[in-house]
Amino acid sequence: MTELNTQTTPIDQATWARREYFYYFTKMMPTGFTLNVDTILQLPKHGSQNTTANLTQPTCTW
């Protein structure tokens, strides 16, 4: 399994080459998106049968 990179790199807003794009999409023309995740949940039930639930819901909205 690939190890997750958790390092952060600070951005110097004064010299960042993408500063104008960042300003445009965060201040002048904000955009947003929603992330939907399909989840199948299988719960053990007393006895021999299992209960399965399919859940779909927006989990993150920006």
pLDDT at 17: 94
At residue 9, does pLDDT exceed 80? yes
Q: Percent of the chain scored above 70 by pLDDT?
A: 61
pLDDT of residue 47: 61
Q: Over the stretch 14-38, which tens digit does the pLDDT of each residue have?
A: 999 999 998 988 888 877 776 677 7
Mean model confidence pLDDT for the chain: 76
Is the whole model's pTM more than 0.85, yes or no?
Answer: no
Burial track 22-57 (b if 16+ CB lie within 10 A, e otherwise): eeeeeeeeeeeeeeeeeeeeeeeeeeeeeeeeeeee
